[in-house]
Structure 1
Amino acid sequence: MSNSRNRRKHPEAVRREVLAETARLLLEKGPAGVTLDAVSQAAGVSKGGLLHHFPNKLALLDGLFDDLAHRFDQALAERMAADPVEKGRFTRAYIAVCFPAGGVAEGEEGWKALTVAMISEPHLRERLRSWVDGRAEVRAEAPLDALLVRYAVDGIWLSDLLGAPSMTPAQRAAMMERLIALSPS
């Protein structure tokens, strides 16, 4: 059985491969290096096959955003479902998902790539703002401490993504404990 025939039977696998190669190209070459030709070649799919899933570069970037945001939402929902205390649940889940003991967790390379793209793509920055604005939990937990926690976690997350000097494991654990203590309860 040929690889192309096998791919036709697994379009989701093709889509995942295309998104993975888009992320890799973003990291290696920046947004300008992400062209339909470069992605199709890197993913080993025809340009027509790529266009079947993503009709243009913006659709590729949107697809990467959608994939990462979906996985992030799932992780948040799982953490929130496991937290028996309703007040502050979103903030504690946000801390746990964005600030794990070892640094940025699942999808790290994808988030690094998307962060690179957001710098030059106002459309993606607006999508991120809309994602945050669309979370009723964020608005419900908007006292100053919850905002302080979210911005602190975002700063640490970005520092991790950029490979900036990190905290020791003990400092990281203490910081996470302090941030959880600041979450609404």
Structure 2
Amino acid sequence: MSTAHHRRKQPALVRQQLLDVAARLTMEQGMGYVTLDAVSGASGISKGGLLHHFPTKNALIDALFESLLDRFDADMEERMREDPVSYGRFSRAYLRAVSDLRDSPAEAAHWAQVTIALLAEPRLRDRWRQWVQARAEEYVGTDSSIDLQIVRFAVDGLWLADMLGSHEIGTEDRAALIARLIDMTNRER
């Protein structure tokens, strides 16, 4: 006799399990290999159960991106709470969060795959643009100087270089680069 009808449904846990499996598949095989069938099979959740939470692959990818962005936001918020200096606080948190991705291979791999999807998918680019715009508006009083904009653009370049492995930079030079960028966030001009 089946016990399925006796199980308590836990939709939030099931949804998170599906996102975790999608993230793992993304990291291991790339975004192109994330299909509804693959996620269903790897998670042990029926395709109907998956479709209940994510009716399309795009919905699954969008949710994966949102989940990653939520974690990034939480990391940024924590870093800003720990920073007593208001000027440049957001830019410093952004710099540290992005530069620290290199030290977390699993998180970096998730971001690398999602960044590739972000470049290819207009809806994800729009969502990233919304995130950037909302932060620019929220921190206009503390992070709108040209120097801080330069820092954030440099951070984006560092992120891309780390993701692609395109620039060989030694540990000391990288630390000096980050220190110089942090110094730029501490000086009002």
**What is the TM-score normalised by the length of structure 1?**
0.85
Residues 29 and 181 (structure 1 numbering): CA distance in 2 closer, same or farther, change over 3 Å?
Answer: closer
For each residue in 1:161-184, what CA deviation from the matched residue of structure 2 results, as whole angstroms up to 9, or x when unmatched? 223344211111101100011115
Residue 76 of structure 1 and its aligned partner are, at CA, apart by 0.8
Q: Matched residues in 1 for 2:7 and 2:30: separation?
A: 27
The number of residues matched between the two structures is 182
Residues 19 and 63 in structure 1, CA contact (< 8 A), matched pair in contact too:
yes
For each residue in 1:144-170, what CA deviation from the matched residue of structure 2 results, as whole angstroms up to 9, or x when unmatched? 211111111111112212233442111
Residues 31 and 114 in structure 2, CA contact (< 8 A), matched pair in contact too:
no
Residues 164 and 9 (structure 1 numbering): CA distance in 2 closer, same or farther, change over 3 Å?
Answer: farther
Partner of 1:167 in structure 2?
169
The 5 Å alignment of 1:80-159 reads: 80-100=80-100, 103=102, 105=104, 107-135=107-135, 136-140=137-141, 141-159=143-161
Moved over 6 A (4+): 4-7
SS in 2 for 1:155: helix
**What is the TM-score normalised by the length of structure 2?**
0.83
SS in 2 for 1:134: helix
Q: Matched residues in 2 for 1:155 and 1:5: separation?
A: 52
For each residue in 1:20-49, what CA deviation from the matched residue of structure 2 results, as whole angstroms up to 9, or x when unmatched? 332344452543x33222221122211111
The CA RMSD over aligned residues, in Å, is: 2.6
Residue 80 of structure 1 and its aligned partner are, at CA, apart by 0.7
For each residue in 1:2-36, what CA deviation from the matched residue of structure 2 results, as whole angstroms up to 9, or x when unmatched? 9x7898555444333322332344452543x3322
Structure 2: state its 5+ residue gaps.
none
Residue identity over aligned pairs, in percent, reads 46
Residue 109 of structure 1 and its aligned partner are, at CA, apart by 2.1
Residue 60 of structure 1 and its aligned partner are, at CA, apart by 0.6
Residue 139 of structure 1 and its aligned partner are, at CA, apart by 3.5
